[in-house]
Homo-oligomer: A and B are copies of this chain.
């Protein structure tokens, strides 16, 4: 499934770019809430972290039903699901967490447009996380769903082996720090903030790519460069489409609040919101730069062509008259027939004179082009 979304800007146009994800949709006329399970995907792996400021417990490879006992306690329970390959487990999960059938379908049928659903006793947040492998600069989008309920948070990802949340898991296990002293709403913030921060390194990568392309366009414009510019425009459109709804979701959350989110956590979400604006600002600038690069390319190529044309014109224009003169005296008119027939051929100074005329023409034309600035 990774391959389905991955995009490698460097391999274009050989490999087919896939970051431009088409959202999943049900077949027209199908039952609302139908699942579209990718059989080859991994089965859900359910892990659970139960904690408060004093206490920490980790359980892995649970079934949905095994989670129930943890959910009723006053400690914060983070149920961490990875993998969407098994319909039965996912349905069971939906029942344990009392999810609306449409919500569950949105969680399972990846990718969806990021959205925020405000039910009275639960808050559903579906977002897109971005990650890149630095070596070959591949970029993936992966859907992450958060379901916040009283004292518990359910997160569902597409794959079990995720790295981006590992630092949060570490902080939870090792320290009795900030997260452990807060409720599930703060955990939601920390994880969502991690998702949003995952856009920054990718943005930086695109910034570098654009700078490389700027130099490339001015130095060696080629078809490959063009393909790369188009590819970057495409990727930036996709990234904007996945981050832009998150900004709106955060603004809604900050403005309206939610019964499950404490006032002091809202301050943190505001910081999150600022980050989404920063990302969108930067994406917008990159898009304008990428468009400007396309214009730049066209202008650079036109400029090169103009130089080539000028060289051709200079060489042709100088030599064409000379070659004509040479051709003229290569004609075989018989000078012996009359004195009008090419008498020059028998002049004593005919040849030097001819060379002199040629030289004069060449010099005159060179001066003319030099004055026109075509020789610089």
- Which residues of A are at the interface with B, using a C-beta cutoff of 8 A? 13, 16, 20, 22-23, 25-32, 100, 102, 112-113, 115, 164-168, 171, 177-178, 190, 193-194, 197-198, 200-201, 203-204, 207, 211, 214-215, 218, 220-223, 226-227, 230, 233-234, 237-238, 241, 267-268, 271, 274-275, 277-278, 281-282, 285, 288-289, 291-306, 308-313, 315-317, 319-324, 326-335, 337-338, 340-342, 344-352, 354, 373-374
Contact residues in B for A350 (Cβ distance below 8 Å): 333-334, 337, 341
Given contacts A113-B277, A190-B32, A226-B218, contact A27 B312 (CB under 8 A): no
State how many copies of this chain the complex holds: 5
Contact residues in B for A296 (Cβ distance below 8 Å): 226, 230, 294
Q: Report the Cα distance A11→B289, complex, angstroms.
A: 19
Q: What are 11 contact pairs spanning A and B, CB under 8 A? A: A25-B275, A32-B271, A218-B223, A218-B226, A226-B303, A233-B288, A233-B289, A292-B294, A313-B315, A315-B321, A331-B354
Contact residues in B for A164 (Cβ distance below 8 Å): 28-29
Q: Report the Cα distance A237→B292, complex, angstroms.
A: 12
Tell me which of A168, A281, A302 has the highest count of chain B C-beta atoms within 10 A of its own C-beta. Answer: A302
Given contacts A167-B30, A306-B308, contact A333 B323 (CB under 8 A): no
The reply to whether B344 and A102 form a contact with Cβ atoms under 8 Å apart is no
Contact residues in B for A112 (Cβ distance below 8 Å): 278
The reply to whether A278 and B25 form a contact with Cβ atoms under 8 Å apart is yes
Given contacts A13-B214, A197-B28, A324-B322, contact A338 B348 (CB under 8 A): yes
